[in-house]
Copies of this chain bind each other. A is one copy, B any other.
Amino acid sequence: MIVVMKPRASARHIAQVIASVEADGYSVHLAENDTQTLVGVVGESATPLNLEKYAALDGVERASRVNVPYKLASREMHPRDTVIPINGAHMGANKVLVIAGPCAVESREQIIEIACAVKEAGATALRGGAYKPRTSPYSFQGHGEQALKWLAEAREVTGLPVVTEIMDANLVSIICQYADILQIGARNMQNFTLLNAAGESQHPVLLKRGMSSTLEDLLMAAEYILAQGNDRVMLCERGIRTFEKYTRNTFDLNAIAVLKQLTHLPVIADPSHAVGLREYVGQVALGAVAAGADGLIIEVHPQPDEAVSDGRQSLTPAMFEQMMQQVRAVAQAVGRDA
């Protein structure tokens, strides 16, 4: 249920509504649209919610059911865009932000070199895998905590905040020591233990769509994080699995446009994983920005053909720089800051 207060409802009236909701056994999340306070009601209780009772309270304009299962993630409960501050920049605001870096952190030198290069080209944050989800137990699984330390060094050198993947709820505290943004990968999008832990951490989270997840599934996964009181969640379209074999995945362009309307959370595109072949990453990135993406996450490697993982889809620094210029041009063309 959502209770929409009258435009100039008093704090006392709002407090009365909150008290009533809590007396009924539910939780409250406050939000605002341009002129009004919205009281969002979530959770489960044996007491059914009586819309008429709430509509009759002082200062209330109307009370209505939320028709989607993702409550806190919905535009209904939270009409305004969520903007997530990242080290002085703002994800979800008017500027398109770019996160870039290698698939895996391979060495101190590698990550610092790439960090400098992507910063120079205009990236806002640095990505790099310390713990890698690998299909095979025999593949390189990442340098772990050592890689986290190298990432932190790269941040010191460049000032770029760090995004890194978390695969294990037990590692939340150590990763939060080093990283600025927790990435939850496609394979873990419905790892509810991990979603809860990421929510509790109160760290910003970049949540990737599962390979065969619907947009509603993705929003429900975000809801787990939001339900822990952590509303700094970015959603990421990274391609879905279809019958097409030429590309690694299929970039669902519709997802960008649809998510921007269904939810207030920032929407990011990952063209590297979506297409999987470096020669097409730039074009897919431009398409995502033109369709309304708030940000991009891009794999960059100085010698892609020698990368320990995902080399086929990594841009060289020179390709990345060229892409950044085109991204700025397209962003401006659709009315965003460049």
Known: A136-B223, A211-B212, A290-B290. A242 touches B252 (CB 8 A): yes
9-residue interface stretch from A14-22, A112-120, A200-208, A276-284: A276-284
- Report the separation of the CA atoms of residues A270 and B263 in the bound assembly, to the nearest whole angstrom: 25
B227 touches A137 (CB 8 A): yes
A: interface residue count bin: 35 or more
**Nearest chain-B residue to A288 (Cβ)?**
B287
Q: What are the interface flags for A190-231 relative to B under an 8 Å C-beta threshold, 1 for contact and 0 otherwise?
A: 111100100000000000001110111100100110010000
Among B138, B167, B220, contact of A193 (Cβ-Cβ < 8 Å): B167
A250 touches B247 (CB 8 A): no
| A291 contacts across to B, CB distance below 8 A | 283-284, 286-287, 290
- Whether, in the assembled complex, A158 has its beta carbon less than 8 Å from a beta carbon of chain B, the answer is no
A288 touches B253 (CB 8 A): yes
| A214 contacts across to B, CB distance below 8 A | 243-246
- Report the separation of the CA atoms of residues A326 and B251 in the bound assembly, to the nearest whole angstrom: 22
Among B170, B274, B290, contact of A287 (Cβ-Cβ < 8 Å): B290
Q: What are the interface flags for A282-303 relative to B under an 8 Å C-beta threshold, 1 for contact and 0 otherwise?
A: 0110111111100000000000
- Whether, in the assembled complex, A176 has its beta carbon less than 8 Å from a beta carbon of chain B, the answer is no
B254 touches A275 (CB 8 A): yes
Shortest distance between the CB of A235 and any CB in chain B (Å): 14
9-residue interface stretch from A51-59, A146-154, A314-322, A328-336: A328-336
- Whether, in the assembled complex, A143 has its beta carbon less than 8 Å from a beta carbon of chain B, the answer is no
Q: Which residue, of A239, A261, A333, has the highest number of chain B Cβ atoms within 10 A?
A: A333
**Nearest chain-B residue to A286 (Cβ)?**
B290
- Whether, in the assembled complex, A240 has its beta carbon less than 8 Å from a beta carbon of chain B, the answer is yes
- Report the separation of the CA atoms of residues A42 and B274 in the bound assembly, to the nearest whole angstrom: 31
- Whether, in the assembled complex, A241 has its beta carbon less than 8 Å from a beta carbon of chain B, the answer is yes
- Whether, in the assembled complex, A312 has its beta carbon less than 8 Å from a beta carbon of chain B, the answer is no
| A253 contacts across to B, CB distance below 8 A | 251-253, 274, 284, 287-288
- Report the separation of the CA atoms of residues A254 and B245 in the bound assembly, to the nearest whole angstrom: 12
**Nearest chain-B residue to A196 (Cβ)?**
B137
- Report the separation of the CA atoms of residues A215 and B247 in the bound assembly, to the nearest whole angstrom: 10
- Whether, in the assembled complex, A159 has its beta carbon less than 8 Å from a beta carbon of chain B, the answer is no
| A337 contacts across to B, CB distance below 8 A | none
Shortest distance between the CB of A334 and any CB in chain B (Å): 6
Q: Which of A15-62 contact B (CB under 8 A)?
A: 42-44
Known: A138-B44, A330-B290. A246 touches B258 (CB 8 A): yes
Shortest distance between the CB of A274 and any CB in chain B (Å): 7
Shortest distance between the CB of A180 and any CB in chain B (Å): 22
A190 touches B192 (CB 8 A): no
**Nearest chain-B residue to A280 (Cβ)?**
B257
- Report the separation of the CA atoms of residues A71 and B223 in the bound assembly, to the nearest whole angstrom: 39
Q: Which residues of A line the B interface, CB within 8 A?
A: 42-44, 69, 71, 133-138, 140, 167-170, 187-188, 190-193, 196, 210-212, 214-217, 220, 223-224, 227, 239-247, 250-258, 260-261, 274-275, 279-280, 283-284, 286-292, 326, 329-330, 332-334
